[in-house]
Chains A and B, each alone.
Chain A
Amino acid sequence: MKRDTPFTLLTNGTALSWADVPEWPLAEFLRNVGAELGRGERLSSFFGVPEGDALRLVAVLAFDAGNTLAVGRSQSFSGSFPALTATHAQAHLFEREIWEQHGVVPENHPWLKPVRKDHGAGPAVGDFFRVDGREIHEVAVGPVHAGIIEPGHFRFQCAGEEVLHLEIALGFQHRGVEEAIAGGPHRATVYQMETVAGDTTIGHATAYANALEALAGTEAPLRAQWLRAIALELERLANHTGDLGALAGDVAFLPTASACGKIRGDFLNLTALLCGNRFGRGLVRPGGCLLDGDTERLSQLRKRLETALAEVQQAAAWLWDAASVRTRFEHTGHLHAKQAAAIGLVGPAARACGLVRDVRFDHPTGWHRFAQVPVSVWPDGDVFARARVRWLEIQRSGDFLREQLDAVPEGETMSSLPALAPNSLAVALVEGWRGEVCHVALTGADGKLRRYKITDPSFHNWTGLALALRGQAISDFPLCNKSFNLSYCGFDL
C-alpha cells in the first residue's frame, strides 16, 4: 500500500545510512510525526541522539497496515521543544525519557516527571497526582511488594475500596543498560541484552542480533532463523502458561494455579534442552545461534512438547469451566480499544482490546517471513480477554511448533558477523511474549554503536494498567496487574 509520507520507509530488520534518514527542522519534524500519529500510525520509538551540546530527535513509526516502518529525524537543537504529548498521548513516556536523558524540556507536557532516575530519595518520593476529599485515602504499594516480584511503586487514590486513579512510578531497577552500550558492542553487551528483561531473553537477544546483522549487511543462516523462531515460541509458551497459573493463583483457584506452575517449568526445561539455560541464555548471537539441535534432540523436544501442551490444555479447561473464576475475570480491569490505541498499547494486552497488532504479522522478519502464526484477538478488554488471548496464543504457538519441528531446515546455524557499517541506522522489531520489542541501533563513523535505543513492550503498556484500574476495586489490582504482567526491569533498563 503506497502512501504519501515524508518519512523514509524501512523494513523490519534492515538498515539504512544515517544520511538517508530524512531530516527536518524541529517544528516541521514534530508536525510530520504528529500527522502520522493522527492518521492512526504507531510510535515504536522516539528518542534523542546527542550531537555535541545539541540534540537530534529520531522517530521510528510503525505503519502496521502498510507492513513497514518509517524513520525520520530532526535537526539539532537545544533547550526545549513543543511536546507531542499535548496532542498525541502515545508520546508521553518517550518525551519524559528524552527530558531525563538529555535535559531538553518538552513544553506543555502535562505530567513531566522523571522516568527512571530519582532525585535523591528514590522514585517513590515526589509529586503524585492527588485527589482530595473527606473520604479519599491514598494507598502506597511498593517498591517491595507482594511476594516474589520485581520492584515498582503504585500510588492509589481511593474512595473506600474503589480506585479513582492509579499512578505507577518505576525506575527502581535502573542498571544503566543503554549507557553501557555506547562505544560498543563490548564483551559484555550481548549478555546484557539477554538480561534486559530476564524472562524475554530470546526476544531481546533476537532484536539485538537482527539489528547488528542489519548493520553488517548480512542475515543469519536460515536454520538459525528457524531456531530463533522456535526458541521465541517456547518462551511465549512458558510465560503464557505461567501467567494463566498466576491469574488462577490470584483468584485462589488452586487446581489451575498448581498445574500451570509445574507446566511452566516443563516449558522452561524445553528451552533448556536446546541450550542448557531455562531462559534461553547463550543461544541467540549476532550471526546466528550458538547451539544447534540434532535430530535426536529435536525429536525429544517434540515429544515433551506434546505432553506439556496436553497438560496445559487440561489445566486451562478447569479454569474456563469454573464459574467462580469467570465472575472474577469478566468485567474486571476494563480497557477500551480507543484508550488502548491512544496510548499505543502493544502485545496481548492490545489484542485483548480487539486491536489487531502483532509484529510477526505486521512486520515479519526472520523465519516469520516463511511461516505465519495467526493473530490472537479478543474484543472485550477485560482480564478475561487478556487471559483468553494468552490461551489462544498458547494453542497457536503449539501448532506452530509442531509444524516447524516436523519440517527442519538444513544448514549451519552460525556465521561470522562482518564489520558494522559506519553511520548507519538499523531497526529491529520482535514480537516478544509481552508485545513489541524495538531495538534501534545507530553507528558512528568508526562503526561502533554510537546510540542504542531499547523499547520494551512494557514501556508502552504500563500506562494501560494505570488506566485499566480506574473505577475498579483496589483488591482487584493484583489480578489486573497479573493480567498485564509487564516487565519492570525492561522498562527501567
Chain B
Amino acid sequence: MNLDPLNFLGQTLALLLLAPLLSGCIKNWKAKLQNRRGPRPWQVYFDIAKFLRKDMVISEHASWVFSFAPYVVFLTALLAGLMVPMINAPAPLRLFGGVLAVVGLLALGRFFLALGGLDPASAFGGMGSSREMTISAIAEPAMMLAIFTVAITAGSTDLSQIAQSTQSATWKLLNPAHVLAFAAMFVVLLAETGRIPVDNPATHLELTMIHEAMLLEYSGRYLAFMEWGASIKQLVLMTLLVNVFFPVGLAGPQASVAALGISLAAYLAKLLALSAVVVVVETTNAKMRLFRVPDLLSTAFVLAALALLSTFLFQ
C-alpha cells in the first residue's frame, strides 16, 4: 500500500496542528496547578493567527539573516519532525544519517535562531544568543549520546528502525542503558524547550531570558513562524522521547486502520503523560541560576555517557 504521500501529509498536518495545542495544554495545566483557570489550550492558535495578520516593525540594523531565520527555524523543526515516527513507523521522511540528521536539522534551526537574536544589535538578543549557545554546547552532545545508546542497541541510526526494534523486544525498555538514556533525554528536553528549571517561558524579565530574549525583536509574521517553529521543535523532542524510548503501541508499516487508531491513542496518552510530568517539574522547582545550568546539563551528559557505556557492558 502506497501510504507515503498520505503519511507525509498526515504527519505534516499533525505537526502543524498538534504543536500549538500541546504548548497551550502545558500552559493551561500549569495554571490549573496554581489554582487559576488559565488560558484555554487553544489560545496559542489565536495568538499565532493574530501574529500572522499583524504588521511588522523591523530594526534598522537588521539584515537578511533576521528575515531568513524564522523560516529556517520553522522548516528545520518541521523536517526534523517528519523524520520521527509519530503514529506509525517508518516516518514519512528518510534522510541519510537518520538520527544524526534530526540533530543536525535542529542544530541548524538553533544556529539561525541565535543569529536572529544577534542581528538587530540589541543587548538582550545578544545575551540570549550567547546563553543559548552555552546551553546547547552541552545539551546537544548529551542528546546525541542518549540517542546513540538506543541506536547501538537497535543496530541502526534510522529512528523508525530503532523504534521498531525496541518495540519488538520489550525487555529492552528496562535495560539500564535505556533508562539512563531516557533520563538524560528528559533533562535535555527541559533545556531545549526552555522550561523551568532552565529557563522560564512565561517571564517578562529580559535579563533572565534565554530563548525569549532572541525573539524580543521579532513581530508579526516572523514572530508567528518563530513561535510556531519553537512549539513544533518541542513536539518533535517530546515525540522522540515517547516514541523512540517507549514505542509501546506504535503501528508498523502496512498497518490496519484499527492499529493506527490504537497507535494514535497510545501516542496522545504518552504525550499527555509526559506533559504532565513536565508541568509538575516546572511547578515544584525554581529556575536555576544561569551559571548553574551547565552543571545540570553536564549531569545529563554524564548520564548519557553512562548509558552508552552500559550498552557495551550489558550486551
Interface on A for B, CB 8 Å cutoff?
137-141, 145-147, 161, 248, 250-255, 258-259, 322, 324-325, 327-328, 332, 473-478
Contacts and interface: CB of A to CB of B under 8 A. Distances in A.
Contact of A161 (B30, B202, B291): B291
Nearest to B289: A328
A252 B123 contact: no
Given A252-B286, A475-B207, A139 B123 contact: yes
A474 B209 CA distance: 11
Contacts of B197: 252, 324
B315 interface: no
Contact of B290 (A139, A248, A327, A475): A475
Contact of A475 (B126, B285, B289): B289
Contacts of A250: 205, 208
Contact of B286 (A137, A161, A328, A473): A328
B205 A324 contact: no
Given A254-B30, A258-B35, A145 B206 contact: yes
Nearest to A145: B206
Given A146-B205, A252-B196, A252-B203, A476 B123 contact: no
Contacts of A325: 286
Contact of B289 (A145, A476, A478): A476
B137 interface: no
A258 B34 contact: yes
B286 A253 contact: yes
Given A250-B205, A473-B291, A475-B208, A139 B286 contact: no
Given A140-B123, A258-B35, A146 B206 contact: yes
A475 B288 CA distance: 11
Contacts of B204: 146-147
Q: Nearest 5 pairs between A and B by C-beta?
A: A147-B204, A252-B287, A324-B286, A258-B34, A253-B286
Contacts of A327: 286, 288-289, 292
Contacts of B36: 258
Given A139-B127, A475-B289, A147 B207 contact: no
Given A161-B290, A252-B286, A474 B207 contact: yes
Given A475-B289, A475-B290, A476-B289, A255 B34 contact: yes
B140 interface: no
Contacts of A478: 205, 207-208
B215 to A, nearest CB: 15
B295 to A, nearest CB: 11
Interface in B245-290: 282-290
Residue from B33, B124, B208 whose CB has the most chain A CB atoms within 10 Å: B208
Contacts of B126: 137
Interface of B: 30, 33-36, 123-124, 126-127, 196-197, 200, 202-208, 282-292
Contacts of B291: 161, 473
5 contacts: A161-B127, A251-B286, A324-B197, A328-B286, A473-B289
A253 B291 CA distance: 18
Contacts of B203: 252
B290 A473 contact: yes
Contacts of A475: 207-208, 289-290
A161 B128 CA distance: 11
Residue from A322, A325, A474, A475 whose CB has the most chain B CB atoms within 10 Å: A475
B28 to A, nearest CB: 14
B122 to A, nearest CB: 10
A34 to B, nearest CB: 39
Nearest to A251: B286
Contacts of B285: 253, 322, 324
Nearest to B291: A473
Contact of B34 (A137, A147, A254, A322): A254
Contacts of B287: 251-253, 324, 328
Given A252-B200, A254-B282, A324-B197, A147 B289 contact: no
B203 to A, nearest CB: 7
A308 to B, nearest CB: 16
Residue from B34, B286, B288, B291 whose CB has the most chain A CB atoms within 10 Å: B286
A145 B34 CA distance: 26
A248 B204 CA distance: 14
A327 to B, nearest CB: 7
Contact of B205 (A147, A161, A254, A259): A147
A283 B292 CA distance: 49
Given A145-B206, A252-B203, A252-B282, 16 more contacts: A137-B126, A139-B123, A141-B207, A146-B204, A161-B291, A248-B286, A252-B286, A254-B30, A258-B36, A322-B284, A322-B285, A322-B286, A327-B288, A328-B287, A477-B207, A478-B207
A329 to B, nearest CB: 9
A138 B122 CA distance: 11
B30 to A, nearest CB: 7
Nearest to A148: B204
B206 A141 contact: yes
A473 B126 CA distance: 16
